[in-house]
Structure 1
Amino acid sequence: MTASPSIPGVTEFAFGRLLNPEVVADPLSLTAEGHLMVRVRGEMMSRTDSLLVCSENLETRPLNRRMQGRAVPEVFHRLVSLEGEGHMVLSREHERFFVLQLHRDLCFFVEGFLWALEATLMWDVGQLPGSRGLRDITLVRAVGEGLLALRVPGELVAIKIANERPYRVHIDGFVGWVGNVVPRMERDVPYLHCEGQGAVFVSLPGAGAGGGHAR
């Protein structure tokens, strides 16, 4: 029995739907379904939970936290260092990945939303002002040239902050900021007071699928 011409052969189907990255692929990119592809050529830093596939020739080693630019003995459990030549794919699950390009920007992101970054970026870990003992929001400061990836529950948007126009942002939607923004947590309210100059990243609820590049 001859199959319909519209039905592909098994080999044709397999090689037409490869998850292997192109030779010139960026270190961080998204699949058509919005999953995160991490391409390693030397070294990358990434989370490994929600792992779908991974090259066997990649080696992982733990990262020590950095505070004020220096390594400290405590292990950074969120991220590991990936070394070698290969790639892996991380599932978006019910959230959305966004790949961002830093051009010497100074950014701060809530630790739980950061999923990967290039080794060319400088980073360290700190605490959101006023959060210690209340909600303990850990931040990662990233600066320099390179790519990073965030995974958030909904659409990623930003609010411009100016000296004459501060904003309040709900803690549950707060992702981080770029520029000279000064967020401050206050007791007994679920909002952050944000002042200064720059933009605050916010995750809007309600969007589940896909992902995006901001390049």
Structure 2
Amino acid sequence: MATTRVTGRGQKSPVDEEFLKHLYRGGELLAQGNAGEARSFLERAHQLQPRNEKGRNLLGLAYFKLGLFDRAAELYEALVRDNPVDATLRVNLGLVYLKTNALQRAMREFETATDLQPDHKKAHNYLGLALAQAGEYGRARQHFLQAGSEVMADKMARAIAGERFAKPAPVRPSLTQLPAVPARPATGGESQWGTQFGLDERPSDAPPPPAAEEDQEMRFAEDEGPGTYSGEATDNAQAYTEASSEPRPEVSLEEALPELPARIAAIRPGSEVPMLAELTPAVALAGASRTNPFRAGHGHFSAFVEGELLTRLEGLVAYSGSLQFQPEPKRVRGRASEQPFGQGAGQLVRASGQGVLFLEASPARSFLAVDLGDEGAYVREEFLFAFEEAVAFENGKVPSDVAPDLDLVHLRGQGRVVLSLSGTLRSVAVAQEAPVTVPLSHLVGWQGKVTPRVVSLPTAEGESPRVAVELSGEGFALIALPVR
């Protein structure tokens, strides 16, 4: 349960008042379908109270609607870590994974949700959808039955029997190709903080909704179950106080997989082998574009190149268009050196021309795209994967007496950077009076006026020495937490 600081005679502090104002305004904008503007208010609320669950939940929803699935995943992963027995948060995280086609992760979250709450019908429904997408029609049918979705259960039975279904309207784009999704406006039957914050609204350019009978295949009946927020109060603080006393909202997510019936329709009579002509559009890789030049996430990275992009080609799957690649040397004291930036397949290259790169990460790593804005950063060389040509860089080292020198890259200028991480990015504040020491295994880099020093951590007798970096000054240590 979120807590609120009070001052004097039960009055909220200015910080809390500002938090409530931004939280409430962001929620209103989400309800009105303006996720882009809501994002700025909710990010400010998150800055003021980064541990507040409602703030993180709504910010995650805004990121989801804007197609920023990696940021949404980070917030929901953190919420699940803080609330591991909350089935609704597990369902939300599972749907984020579904949007990025991370089926195994999605199914794990849905299965955990059904274990925690066996009567959670939506969790059973989404697990059924994920299993059907993976071709496990028998298991999918069982979960559709538990969800009360008889139409979809019947489809699974017919798929198992090898029956071909009537082909519906033209196949909609796969999940990873859907544009940024606007929120649907609130209707008379929805509360201010209720189902209008669903993560699954139909994109604006999608075909018209199906007929009532077909629509039931993909949705549950709307319900006013526990967990909806009340929006009747007009006073910001009062509205939040009332909301704080209620359970966490269960988000409505009825249409997470609109293309599933088309995939089921591709089953030929007497066989579970799909027709290639119908399968290939559904499994197309999600490529970057001029309006969305970086698509980074769990296990995949796509970049739209127009001009120049500095990137590694490790994990290259394919590239389209006309691109040329030139090895990029390290820069020392503002000048190009004779040293290559990286070795072998991990060498940094300058990609020029126009086209799209498709790359994959190793199972133990994931990609994260960030915008530097006006702030520079120091990043360990091994974590830097790609960056726009507008970003200036310089290579350097942190000398060490206890281990090999630490290779770093100083990045500055307005532009986007892609990191290849061994876990979820987190930060720890560094203050003058409180230096921060981070084991080298977790350190990604730092931001701010920070001075690094390589040190040894205490170890038991006979153990190999552990290397860490002590950061002093003012700024933030950037850390990668392994996904467990």
Do Structure 1 and Structure 2 share a fold, with TM-score over 0.5? yes
- Residue 176 (structure 1) aligned with residue 442 (structure 2): no
Q: Counterpart in 1 of 2:412?
A: 143
The separation in 1 between residues aligned to 2:305 and 2:447, in whole angstroms, is 26
Matches within 5 A, 1:66-145: 66-77=331-342, 78-94=347-363, 95-128=365-398, 130-131=399-400, 134-145=403-414
Q: Counterpart in 2 of 1:211?
A: none
Structure 1 residues 26-77: Cα deviation after superposition (integer angstroms, max 9, x where no partner): 332226x540111100110000011111226211001121012211122223
Q: Counterpart in 1 of 2:265?
A: 7
Task: Looking at secondary structure, tell me which structure has more strand per residue.
Answer: 1
Q: How many residues align?
A: 205
The separation in 2 between residues aligned to 1:179 and 1:54, in whole angstroms, is 36
Structure 2 counterpart SS, 1:103: coil
- Residue 167 (structure 1) aligned with residue 436 (structure 2): yes
Q: Counterpart in 2 of 1:62?
A: 327
The separation in 1 between residues aligned to 2:290 and 2:305, in whole angstroms, is 12
Check conservation: 1:27, 1:118, Cα contact below 8 A: no
Q: Measure how far apart 1:203 and its partner are.
A: 0.9
The separation in 2 between residues aligned to 1:132 and 1:81, in whole angstroms, is 34
The separation in 1 between residues aligned to 2:288 and 2:367, in whole angstroms, is 20
- AA of the residue aligned to 2:371: Q
Q: Measure how far apart 1:2 and its partner are.
A: 6.7
Task: Looking at secondary structure, tell me which structure has more helix per residue.
Answer: 2
The separation in 2 between residues aligned to 1:14 and 1:65, in whole angstroms, is 41
Check conservation: 1:27, 1:147, Cα contact below 8 A: no
- AA of the residue aligned to 1:71: A
What do you get for the CA RMSD once the two structures are aligned? 2.2
Deviates more, 1:12-21 or 1:172-181: 12-21
**TM-score, normalised relative to structure 2:** 0.40
Structure 1 counterpart SS, 2:382: helix
Q: Deviating runs (4+, > 4 A) in structure 1?
A: none
Change (3 A) 1:69 1:34: same
**TM-score, normalised relative to structure 1:** 0.86
The separation in 2 between residues aligned to 1:22 and 1:68, in whole angstroms, is 34
Q: Counterpart in 1 of 2:57?
A: none
Q: Counterpart in 2 of 1:194?
A: 471
| Higher Rg of the two aligned structures | 2
- With CA pairs under 8 Å and 6+ residues apart, which has the higher RCO, 1 or 2? 1
Identity level (%): 27
Structure 1 residues 132-159: Cα deviation after superposition (integer angstroms, max 9, x where no partner): 7722221011000111111111111111
Check conservation: 1:167, 1:193, Cα contact below 8 A: yes
Check conservation: 2:299, 2:362, Cα contact below 8 A: no
Q: Which runs of 5+ in 1 are unaligned?
A: 208-215
Q: Which runs of 5+ in 2 are unaligned?
A: 1-161, 167-263, 267-274, 457-464
Q: Counterpart in 1 of 2:482?
A: 205
